[in-house]
């Protein structure tokens, strides 16, 4: 993990005054202070740092670097996710990190306040993207694309209060899969749930459950409970917190803060406790109040069909119809879903990791139309994998089990036991590189053999090619296996072929 | 290429007034207008759009989406670049898209003005990263890392005037490789040049040349020509433009705009016309003025050693010592280099593509020390591949030669010639997915067989699995080769094995 380097006031003052007072003629390679502009900037920097004596070298709040070890884990997870998306026929695409601010406003409901805006530096007003869904809808409308199955892996940014323990960051990576186009009902929706199951199974995160609901059922429920239409969106946001807050606290928020009548809240309370399989769908069809609402009936009809397809896919037992699921984002219009892990896969004794949902999504049939000049709609359904949370779980598991990862893929170290063999090593290693073999050497004129062998052991390099005086004289090189310590001499001209043979066998 | 959708004023007014006037009870799935907040936002939006009648759906200035076709090309290029970095033993890592603003100031010289700042939303002052080098130096200092060989692929942002024809964007991808640590001279530097050669050869972009110089030689040249030290940085910026501007224009800028004495400019002019191989290094050692400058002599000594190693690597003929190379960024302290293509690889008659440099880098021994509380230095050398420009060349070449790329990897389409076979198709495709086979089906209850076969042809899917009434009765499925149109019936239970066999053969 990155350590924070605390920079004491005195050290900064010393460093900076050194920089500023250096006569330019003795300007070191390290510091180019001969520019007047630079000097001015340094002066203002100095002031800034003196005002902040506890200046710390750090990444911005809620963000982090990924170390090489973390990067390896991250890439394994992303590879698995992307290969699943490709298995389902998705194409890749990319959009800029920022969008015109007006493209993003009025898409996220209460979340909009968490958007990162760019400073007005005399051009367009821009914001960092908040998710990958709205840029996708903008792309479809802009290019008049009516049908597309795409995945997108990229960073998004939200100015949330970071509680890093829970795996929440202000910069995080999303992996999205979406199907855009006018199709027969629930077939693409069912595939999205199948994909979520395949990914969560593939990552071996332990048992999981996917909660399913429909925005039309949520709205219908609000209507029959007596929620004023003007409060639908904000009450929806409150309900969305039920996975993190107890019902009584959510109820309090709705009544005390959002002015909902207590009896209305209690009626909602009866519904949001319901969850179950397809039988609950049937039961809700019979519900005296809900069955009077046209929207809710549409939602229930679609859920019934969805469960039929999920059964054919063999994943129905992983899905729970859950009336407490609301999803925070404003753009959903139909089926919504969210995957939660049922237990943390760490060993007994390890700190249990609270992770929240690890994947989520839903149907948003109106979003593209909001961008289209004529309001032409392109129905869409999709899902997003919460890689950061999954990453935290996998990292925790690796710590628990003491798993180590190699951070490089180097196959061969080119080494020598003798002095003045740099030239030979350089010739040898260029030959290996040109043959596509992953090779390293120590960047020293005369490294010690032991140092070279230790480097292999500490970084996991399996083979060493050794050239010394004797070898040079005989026109051979030695190949050493780091694991067995066995060495064999082979003809210099057979080196590449021999290495390739050994690597293909291992 | 994305098309811009022009949104006429009248269409917007109509759309928005429709949204605003819709009674909430008839709220469609498409537009959730039941929130008071949403209403307020829409009203202000309406005003904004009325002020701007030519509102256009677009990406921000200087940025672009990557379509699936472009994404395939991009990923091929990145795969080649990253596999070269891994061949040289580099580890991956990542840093946030933005940094504390104070981390980035006073690192780039005249480029600093092009940084994207984030709006002050009541937290830290942040800027989008301008390159991957300064974040790397910050990472090293923050984690007290003294030695590291890493690569980093990521986007960076610069508010340049975009001249998109030349492949310059405000958001662009960089692929960096850097070696940090105290090593014997020029060994890591030579490896960086070897890597640039391997990548440019691998990408088959045609003939190229790598210009090499040393910042100490540049500074020494300025000193012996009589440039005042206060003007070193800004004159360096002017010299850096010599690849895009004629000497007479650069001279004019230095004299008229930057106040350099004409005779000083002319002395510089004599030097910057010099380029050649190692013999030019020898020649400069004898130069009556330059040989009096200690810094320049150090630089020349290192270049001589560098050429020795480049010869051992077999790449010396690709390298040109060029006194006009200056590199714009302030942080370089030693060897600098820049790769240029010698001709454009498009066919005769095609528009020649001006691309500028496609890779560049150098030594920056002082940057880490600027972040370290005690000023401890970590010498670094590295390179950056300009993927956007390379991407433009490859894309242009593909257009010229009419090359097509598949945007999906789907191996099998599950199809039916009959109505009411959705359930069978769903069961079949789930079986294929669970076996890791890349499969698609049309999202229709009853698609026409011809439509399904056309889909295979237009997207390049090689195999079709067909299930119909006859097949269901006999417990078989048909496998059809799209290319040969041959069909064979196989037992239903052998489907996965048979498909896997066919795919491994092809």
Domain span at A203: 68-345+354-401
Q: What distance in Å separates the CA atoms of residue B111 and residue A477, rounded to the nearest whole number?
A: 50
- With a CB-CB cutoff of 8 Å, which residues 10-29 of chain A face chain B? 11-12, 15, 18, 24-25, 27-29
Chain B residue at shortest CA distance from A124? B60
Inter-residue contact A363 to A333 (CB < 8 Å): yes
pLDDT value at position A1? 35
Q: What distance in Å separates the CA atoms of residue B139 and residue B152, rounded to the nearest whole number?
A: 12
Would you say A407 is a known binding-site residue? no
Q: Are residues A85 and A194 both part of a single domain?
A: yes
Start-end of H helices in A327-482: 367-371, 387-401, 422-434, 449-459, 469-474
Helix (H, G, I), strand (E, B) or coil at A171: strand
Inter-residue contact B463 to B499 (CB < 8 Å): yes
Q: State whether the Cα torsion A175-A180-A184-A186 is positive or negative.
A: positive
Facing A375 at nearest CB: one of B15, B71, B138: B15
Q: Are residues A426 and A393 both part of a single domain?
A: no
Give the DSSP H/E element, type plus range, for residue B419.
none
DSSP letter for B89, please.
Answer: T
DSSP letter for A94, please.
Answer: B
Strands A357-363 and A319-322: unpaired
User: Comparing C-alpha atoms, which of A465, A381, A399, A31 is closest to residue A190?
Assistant: A381
CATH of the domain at A365: 3.30.930.10
Confidence label for B501 from pLDDT (cuts 50, 70 and 90): very high
- With a CB-CB cutoff of 8 Å, which residues 330-369 of chain B face chain A? 330-331, 333-334, 365-366, 369
Q: pLDDT tens digits, residue range B31-65?
A: 333 333 333 333 333 333 333 445 689 999 999 99
Q: pLDDT tens digits, residue range A36-62?
A: 333 333 333 333 333 344 568 999 999
Domain count for chain A: 2
Residue A22 lies in a domain: no
Mutation site for B-interface testing, chosen from A312, A364, A379, A409 by largest number of B Cβ within 10 Å:
A312
Q: What Rg, from alpha-carbon coordinates, does chain A have?
A: 30
pLDDT value at position B186? 98
pLDDT value at position B328? 76
User: Comparing C-alpha atoms, which of A485, A499, A504 is closest to residue A428?
Assistant: A499
Query: How much of chain A is helix, strand and coil, in % rounded to 5?
Result: 45, 20, 35
User: Comparing C-alpha atoms, which of B205, B487, B481 is closest to residue B346?
Assistant: B205
Q: What distance in Å separates the CA atoms of residue B4 and residue B8, rounded to the nearest whole number?
A: 12
pLDDT value at position A278? 92
Q: What distance in Å separates the CA atoms of residue B293 and residue A387, rounded to the nearest whole number?
A: 55
Residue B27 lies in a domain: no
Q: How far, CA to CA in Å, does A200 sit from each of A359, B254, B302?
A: 9, 62, 54
Would you say B332 is a known binding-site residue? yes
Portion of chain B with pLDDT greater than 70, in percent: 85
**What are the φ/ψ torsions at residue B211 (nearest 5 degrees)?**
-80, 135
Tokens of A502: 């050994």
Q: Within 13 A of B153's CA, how many CA atoms are on the CB side?
A: 20
Tokens of A84: 């699943």
Facing A233 at nearest CB: one of B6, B38, B144: B38
Give the pLDDT of chain A (506 residues) as one tens digit per residue.
333 333 344 443 343 333 333 333 333 333 333 333 333 333 333 333 333 445 689 999 999 999 999 999 999 999 999 999 999 999 999 999 999 999 998 788 766 788 999 999 988 999 999 999 999 999 999 999 999 999 999 999 999 875 655 657 999 999 999 999 999 999 999 999 999 999 999 999 899 999 999 999 999 999 999 999 999 988 998 998 888 889 999 999 999 999 999 999 999 999 999 999 999 999 999 999 999 999 999 999 999 999 999 999 999 999 999 999 998 778 999 999 999 998 754 555 554 444 578 999 999 999 999 998 888 999 999 999 999 989 988 998 888 888 889 999 999 999 999 999 999 999 999 999 999 999 999 999 999 999 999 999 999 999 999 999 999 999 999 999 999 999 999 999 999 999 999 999 87
Start-end of H helices in A29-186: 36-51, 68-87, 101-104, 133-142
Which residues lie closer than 8 Å to A320 by C-beta, 6 or more apart?
A209, A210, A211, A212, A275, A276, A277
Number of Cβ within 10 Å of residue A185's Cβ equals 17
Q: Are residues B460 and B365 both part of a single domain?
A: no
Q: pLDDT tens digits, residue range B392-404?
A: 889 988 888 888 8
Q: Tell me the Ramachandran region of residue A226: left when phi exceeds 0, alpha when psi lies from -120 to 50, beta otherwise.
A: left
Residue count (chain B): 506
Q: What distance in Å separates the CA atoms of residue A217 and residue A213, rounded to the nearest whole number?
A: 7
Tokens of A374: 């004529």
The order of strands in the sheet holding A148-157 is A91-92, A148-157, A171-180, A380-386, A357-363, A335-341, A208-214, A319-322, A275-276
Q: Do B439 and A86 touch (CB under 8 A)?
A: no
Q: What distance in Å separates the CA atoms of residue A466 and residue A473, rounded to the nearest whole number?
A: 13
Helix (H, G, I), strand (E, B) or coil at A28: coil
Q: Do A86 and B119 touch (CB under 8 A)?
A: no
Which residue is listed with tokens 């490789």? B177
Cα A281–Cα A287–Cα A290 angle in degrees, nearest 5: 90
Q: What distance in Å separates the CA atoms of residue A64 and residue A2, rounded to the nearest whole number?
A: 8
Q: What is the ipTM of this complex?
A: 0.86
Inter-residue contact B331 to A38 (CB < 8 Å): no
Inter-residue contact A323 to A271 (CB < 8 Å): yes
Would you say B132 is a known binding-site residue? yes
Tokens of B95: 């840093």
Q: Are residues B300 and B385 both part of a single domain?
A: yes
Start-end of H helices in B130-176: 133-142
Q: Are residues A205 and A115 both part of a single domain?
A: yes
Q: pLDDT tens digits, residue range B294-337?
A: 999 999 999 999 999 999 999 999 999 999 999 877 899 999 99
Q: Are residues A359 and A486 both part of a single domain?
A: no
Residue count (chain A): 506
Q: What distance in Å separates the CA atoms of residue A339 and residue A360, rounded to the nearest whole number?
A: 6
Residue B393 lies in a domain: yes
Strands B439-440 and B412-415: parallel
Inter-residue contact A158 to A386 (CB < 8 Å): no
pLDDT value at position B122? 87
Q: pLDDT tens digits, residue range B167-201?
A: 579 999 999 999 999 999 999 999 999 999 999 99
pLDDT value at position B137? 97
Burial category of A82 from C-beta neighbours within 10 Å (exposed 0-12, middle 13-18, buried 19 and up): middle
Helical packing angle, A232-239 and A215-225, nearest 10°: 110
pLDDT value at position B230? 92
Task: Name the minimum distance, in Å, from the CA of B173 to any CA of chain A.
Answer: 11
Average pLDDT of span B420-428: 97
User: Comparing C-alpha atoms, which of B244, B284, B250 is closest to residue B266?
Assistant: B250
Q: Are residues A309 and A186 both part of a single domain?
A: yes
CATH of the domain at B430: 3.40.50.800
Q: What is the dihedral of CA A65, A68, A69, A74, to 10 degrees?
A: 70
Helix (H, G, I), strand (E, B) or coil at B378: coil
User: Comparing C-alpha atoms, which of B449, B312, B382, B443 is closest to residue B152?
Assistant: B382
Q: What distance in Å separates the CA atoms of residue A350 and residue A52, rounded to the nearest whole number?
A: 39
Q: Give one DSSP letter per residue of B459-501, joined into a string.
A: HT--EEEE--HHHHHHTEEEEEETTT--EEEEEGGGHHHHHHH
Number of Cβ within 10 Å of residue A434's Cβ equals 16
Residue B77 lies in a domain: yes
Residue B41 lies in a domain: no
User: Comparing C-alpha atoms, which of B242, B228, B226 is closest to residue B327?
Assistant: B242
Q: Are residues A390 and A482 both part of a single domain?
A: no
Portion of chain B with pLDDT greater than 90, in percent: 73
A405 to chain B, any CB pair closer than 8 A? The answer is no
Q: Residue B441: is its pLDDT beyond 50?
A: yes
Q: Do B119 and A116 touch (CB under 8 A)?
A: yes
Q: Are residues A130 and A251 both part of a single domain?
A: yes
Q: What distance in Å separates the CA atoms of residue B324 and residue B211, rounded to the nearest whole number?
A: 9
Q: Are residues A394 and A429 both part of a single domain?
A: no
Tokens of A238: 């409150």
Residue A293 lies in a domain: yes
Q: What is the dihedral of CA A112, A118, A124, A125, to 10 degrees?
A: 30
Residue B54 lies in a domain: no
- With a CB-CB cutoff of 8 Å, which residues 202-221 of chain A face chain B? 215-216
Inter-residue contact B325 to B336 (CB < 8 Å): yes
Would you say B400 is a known binding-site residue? no
Q: Are residues A235 and A182 both part of a single domain?
A: yes
Which residues lie closer than 8 Å to B15 by C-beta, 6 or more apart?
A373, A374, A375
Chain A residue at shortest CA distance from B456? A89
Chain B residue at shortest CA distance from A313? B430
Residue B60 lies in a domain: no
Q: Are residues A222 and A278 both part of a single domain?
A: yes
Give CA B234 to chain center in angstroms.
28
């Amino acid at each position: 993990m990155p350590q924070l380097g605390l920079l004491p006031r005195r050290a900064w003052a010393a460093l900076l005054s050194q920089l500023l007072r250096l006569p330019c003629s003795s300007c070191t390679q390290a510091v180019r202070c001969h520019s007047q502009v630079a000097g001015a900037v340094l002066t203002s920097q100095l002031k800034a740092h003196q005002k902040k004596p506890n200046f710390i070298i750090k990444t911005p709040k809620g963000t982090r670097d990924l170390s090489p070890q973390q990067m390896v884990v991250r890439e394994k997870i992303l590879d698995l996710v992307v290969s699943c998306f490709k298995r389902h026929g998705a194409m890749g695409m990319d959009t800029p990190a920022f969008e015109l601010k007006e493209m993003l406003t009025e898409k996220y409901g209460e979340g909009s306040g968490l958007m990162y805006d760019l400073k007005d530096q005399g051009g367009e007003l821009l914001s960092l993207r908040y998710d990958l869904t709205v840029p996708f809808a903008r792309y479809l409308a802009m290019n008049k694309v009516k049908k597309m199955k795409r995945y997108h892996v990229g960073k998004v940014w939200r100015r949330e209060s970071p509680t890093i323990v829970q795996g929440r960051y202000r910069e995080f990576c999303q992996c999205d899969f979406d199907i855009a186009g006018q199709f027969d009902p629930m077939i693409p929706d069912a595939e999205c749930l199948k994909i979520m199951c395949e990914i969560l199974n593939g990552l071996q995160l332990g048992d999981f459950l996917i909660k399913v609901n429909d925005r039309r059922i949520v709205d219908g429920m609000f209507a029959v409970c007596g929620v004023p239409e003007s409060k639908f969106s904000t009450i929806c946001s409150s309900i969305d917190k039920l996975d993190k807050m107890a019902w009584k606290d959510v109820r309090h928020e709705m009544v005390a803060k959002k002015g909902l009548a207590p009896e209305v809240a209690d009626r909602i309370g009866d519904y949001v406790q319901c969850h179950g399989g397809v039988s609950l769908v049937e039961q809700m069809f019979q519900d005296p109040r809900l069955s009077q609402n046209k929207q809710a009936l549409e939602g229930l009809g679609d859920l019934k069909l969805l469960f039929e397809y999920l059964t054919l896919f063999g994943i129905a037992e992983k899905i729970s119809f859950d009336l407490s699921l609301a999803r925070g984002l404003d753009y959903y219009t139909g089926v919504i879903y969210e995957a939660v892990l049922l237990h943390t896969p760490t060993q007994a004794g390890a700190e249990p990791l609270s992770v929240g949902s690890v994947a989520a999504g839903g149907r948003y049939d109106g979003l593209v139309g909001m961008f289209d000049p004529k309001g032409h709609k392109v129905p869409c359904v999709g899902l997003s994998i919460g890689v950061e949370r999954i990453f935290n779980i996998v990292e925790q598991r690796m710590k628990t089990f003491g798993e180590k990862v190699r951070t490089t893929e180097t196959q061969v170290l080119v080494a020598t036991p003798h002095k003045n063999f740099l030239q030979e090593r350089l010739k040898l290693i260029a030959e290996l590189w040109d043959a596509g073999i992953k090779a390293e050497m120590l960047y020293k004129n005369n490294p010690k053999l032991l140092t070279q062998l230790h480097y292999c052991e500490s970084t996991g390099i399996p083979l060493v090619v050794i050239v010394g005086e004797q070898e040079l004289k005989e026109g051979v090189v030695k190949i050493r296996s780091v694991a067995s310590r066995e060495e064999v001499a082979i003809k210099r001209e057979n080196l590449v072929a021999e290495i390739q043979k050994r690597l293909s066998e291992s």
